[in-house]
Chains A and B, each alone.
Chain A
């Protein structure tokens, strides 16, 4: 009798602990996941404007500019279809280079500039972040479709979506 009672207490305490942990985890997952967006998706207004996300693509060639303070850097991230201007203050990773893959984490401002608070480059020469690779493939696909359907009705669907971004 007594041991059954004790067992119940154990189970209740265990379940309560489990529920607490699950709640904690779900809450943490909800608020701390970084979604990934490509420049094309950013232009299509798919990315959130009120919270931070990851932007990935290639650093556009000849786009890196440094301000006089030596720390603020401006560059453009491209997926070969669209580009997004990025501003970052701080020291860039060793393997940050023009024409190479990059992932930046931060928020987009109302004038369409991505303010990065973290810039990640790859770890070695042959590595490309998988998200970046996929973003490039997708953009390539969209571009090819657009080129293909130049005489058909297709491009209309692609173009206007990108338009309103400029106005906001």
Chain B
């Protein structure tokens, strides 16, 4: 028996390593609940992306449920999730505001022309100050904000069809009632 145990050692060691790797996949700081959830969304007012001479102010959105989608034309993952927002925009369920983060205006407008523009308004956060207030640490990120201007949900990274439907849209419908 002891003879056989010796040969089992590599397998046991390997399984321990796999267990750690598995935990490493899930336990890393990637799914931290955002501290801003259930707190009032920071109020901001920055230049409009399409019309530089005009300001976009988040106060305009008070009294309705809305979605804030942080994106940039240099961000690869934004491209992955964008078609989902274009779809959502067509359905007219909820207004989506785009926050164009640390981008070049020309690139951003070109990007929207090519991929579609689902946003009722686009804020141009050229130096990332609004992003900083929201605690954005990477793009894309998506926020659901309720009628009282409270952040009710934050999604880090690109949304998928499933997460958009089950988390974002479901919550929006609930909040709209």
- Do A and B touch, yes or no (CB under 8 Å, in the complex)? yes
Interface residues of A (CB under 8 A from B): 58, 61, 80, 99, 101, 125-126, 128, 130, 132-134, 136-137, 140-141, 143-145, 147-148
User: Is the interface on chain B under 10, 10 to 19, 20 to 34, or 35 or more residues?
Assistant: 20 to 34
B35 touches A140 (CB 8 A): yes
A99 touches B35 (CB 8 A): no
Nearest opposing residue in chain A for B76, CB measure: A126
The minimal Cβ–Cβ distance linking A61 to chain B, given in whole angstroms, is 7
Nearest opposing residue in chain B for A130, CB measure: B29
User: Across the interface, which residues of A come within 8 angstroms of B28, CB to CB?
Assistant: 130
Q: How many A-B residue pairs have CB under 8 A?
A: 49
B176 at the A interface (CB under 8 A):
no
B35 touches A80 (CB 8 A): no
B138 touches A99 (CB 8 A): no
B35 touches A137 (CB 8 A): yes
User: Across the interface, which residues of A come within 8 angstroms of B77, CB to CB?
Assistant: 126
B88 at the A interface (CB under 8 A):
no
A136 touches B74 (CB 8 A): no
B135 touches A140 (CB 8 A): yes
Q: Is the interface of A mostly helix, strand, loop or mixed?
A: helix
Interface residues of B (CB under 8 A from A): 28-30, 32, 34-36, 39, 74-77, 102, 127-129, 132, 135, 137-139
Nearest opposing residue in chain B for A131, CB measure: B29
B128 touches A133 (CB 8 A): no
Nearest opposing residue in chain B for A78, CB measure: B132
CA A58 – CA B135 in complex, angstroms?
Answer: 11
Nearest opposing residue in chain A for B32, CB measure: A137
B137 touches A80 (CB 8 A): no
User: Across the interface, which residues of A come within 8 angstroms of B139, CB to CB?
Assistant: 126
The minimal Cβ–Cβ distance linking A125 to chain B, given in whole angstroms, is 6
Nearest opposing residue in chain A for B133, CB measure: A80
CA A58 – CA B138 in complex, angstroms?
Answer: 12
B128 touches A99 (CB 8 A): yes
